[in-house]
Amino acid sequence: MLSRKASCDSHGQDSSYFLGWQEYEKNPYHPVHNPAGIIQMVLAENQLSFDIIESWLQKNPDILGLKRDGVSLFRSLALFQDYHGLPDFKNALVDYMAKIRGNKIKFAPNKLVLTAGATPANETLMFCLAEPGEAFLLPTPYYPGFDRDLKWRTGVEIVPIHCSSSNGFRITSSTLEQAYQQAQKLNLNVKGVLVTNPSHPLVITMNRAELNLLIDFAIDYNVHIVSDEIYSGTVFDSPKFVSVIELVMERKLYDADIWNRIHIVYSLSKVLGVPGFRVGMIYSNNETVVTTATKMSSFGMVSSQTQFLLASLLSDEKFTEKYMKETQRRLKRQREMLVSGLRNAGIQCLKSNAGLFCWVDMRHLLRWDSFEAEKELWKKIVCEVGLNISAGSSCHCSEPGWFRICFANMSQDTLRVAMQRMKAFTDSRSSAVESATVYRLRTLKHAASPHYFLQDL
């Protein structure tokens, strides 16, 4: 009776990992009302800087009242429906994007398409760049939402570029090449490579060598590059964030075909902490992509009062300056709490310089080296330790034993409780004789290059 889309489960929400959410919803942690509840650590949300935005709103009461200079804009905003977006908002956005990139690039508002978050931005790009049954290559591990965003409604396929912990999960020419060959074997026409920079879930920025490799690959194979830079504003440590578009400019490729095959995705859901406002964007040098994506944005426009509010907020340079600096400081501090708490429990994180979470190595806690064992450990951590975290296999990691743990959606006190629970868990395990031999063997097997891991703070 229903369409194939309605009856197939490729959306991903029904995966076994939904169990974590279900358990959390049945028993959510509250410091006073439910101190034994499950702590939510899968939400990549920044809840550390609301006070800064709230204090700005208090100082600018006209904005929430939809007024400018005391005059109500209610009627014009209520009627506004142009999918090109409010010019003031687009101007504020391009300046803000440039600021995040150290003002090294100037963005043009006419190359920007507004979308209701990065989710529809990525999907829209797939609709613009590929036919159903064509493929994009994605480095693993990757954001689990991409299976929904890139594939579900578009019919596009994802072919993984398998990255490994042995080089800190960096892409190499051979992994790119292998993924391309794999697509050929599967009879899939490759239309592009999609990367997240900084990476989700690794939260590391791509280095120049990787970006150059990517650009050369896209030139050689005549494919697109989609760079999802949703975490670019969260970079709190060196090395600085470098966008692929910056390198293409540095290489003066303005007249080359590749210039029209680079597409950037951004959103205000992460560092600004307003995912509920649903604001995202595509930035592309390709006129046809911009025109088509703008037409498609009718299916997910940003409401005019949201555009009005954020245009005022983001064009206040003093605010953005202070907000970014302070938020990055707070993210770094919270990340350090997580890293040292985990280290105290004998667990290491991949060395990162951005983001709202860490990529955590728990391979030594697996009972054996398999995704089954990863799932077993994950269930234990959710149901017994009381921490809802994400298993690496949900991010398509090729190695069992990695986990993603979010830190910016909670207070320091809650994070402290989470770390105490983790320590109690690993203490109880290491005293168990049963795992000792297996543990030692596994540690030897996975003696990955230590400089990729956080040793010091």
Ligand X SMILES: Cc1ncc(COP(=O)(O)O)c(C=O)c1O
Active site residues: 143, 228, 230, 270
Stretch that binds ligand X, among 48-56, 115-123, 254-262, 374-382 (CB under 6 A): 115-123
Query: For ligand X, which residue of 20, 117, 139, 192 counts as binding (CB under 6 A)?
Result: 117
Q: Which is nearer to ligand X, 275 or 401 (CB)?
A: 275
- 12, 28, 37, 145: which one contacts ligand X (CB under 6 A)? 145
C-alpha 394/C-alpha 17 separation (Å) is: 7
Among 205, 234, 269, 294, binds ligand X (CB under 6 A): 269
Cα–Cα distance, 280 to 307 (Å, whole number): 11
Span near ligand X by CB under 6 A; candidates 32-40, 114-122, 254-262, 327-335:
114-122
Q: Which of 119, 140, 205, 285 binds ligand X (CB under 6 A)?
A: 119
Part of the chain binding ligand X (CB under 6 A), chosen from 97-105, 112-120, 390-398, 421-429: 112-120
CB 19 within 8 A of CB 382: yes
List Cα–Cα distances, 14 to 8, 17, 20, 35, in angstroms.
10, 8, 12, 29
Give buried/exposed letters for 169-199 (b at 16+ CB in 10 A, else e). bbbeeebbebbbebbeeeebebbbbbbbbbb
Q: How many residues bind ligand X (CB under 6 A)?
A: 14
Asked whether position 267 contacts ligand X by CB under 6 A, the answer is: yes
Closest separation in Å from C-beta 141 to ligand X: 11
Of positions 196, 197, 232, 320, contacts ligand X by CB under 6 A: 196
Per-residue binding string, ligand X, 275-314, x by CB under 6 A, is x----x----------------------------------
Task: State yes or no: residue 118 binds ligand X (CB under 6 A).
Answer: yes
Interacting residues with ligand X (CB under 6 A): 44, 117-119, 143, 145, 196, 200, 228, 230, 267, 269, 275, 280
